[in-house]
Amino acid sequence: MSTTRPYPPGDRGPEPSSASEVSEGGAAVPSGGRQVRRLSFDGQSGVVPLARDFTRQALYAWGWMPAASADQRAAAEDVLLVVSELVTNACLHADGPDELLISCDNKVIRLEVSDRGAGQPAPRTPHRAGRPGGHGMFIVQRLCLDWGVVRPAGAAGKTVWAELGAPA
């Protein structure tokens, strides 16, 4: 669970109205001051590589890749790793993800993976680096500025979100 601010996905206050949202079909939709992309996993197989490829395409479109410096390359690799961990957790603990939403402004990229699971993601404690498995949420916690879980009122499932800083 988030250690600092468990606000709902997308609730970042008033934003400028200049950004657009792109679904997997490529259609642009106004979304406030952020660039947004959405991927539905409905009927898809191989969802982890699909999510990584989708995220990589967004990073290229938003100028995070190709990276001009080692710090920028590390930031992009961190985003891809966190997407892999969140989608993998949805596969292992929630019968698979429903949707991936990626949004970005000049300072933060936000990743959201929605699923129908009832479980509560949390880093395994104590964390034992030498043991196989159980490192996903520990990795998310270490790499991200913040992360959390939001459950829709009166509906099954959850959205696990994570935020990473944009490269300098």
Q: Could you check whether the bond before residue 66 is cis, i.e. omega within 30 degrees of 0?
A: yes
Q: Look at residue 55 and tell me whether its pLDDT is greater than 60.
A: yes
Between these two residues, 109 and 16, which has the higher pLDDT value? 109
> pLDDT tens for residues 142-163?
999 999 999 988 888 999 999 9
Least confident of 15-29, 95-109, 136-150: 15-29
% of the chain residues with pLDDT over 90: 54
Could you count the other beta carbons within 10 Å of the beta carbon of residue 12? 16
Which residue, among 37, 33, 31, has the nearest Cα to 79 in the 3D structure? 37
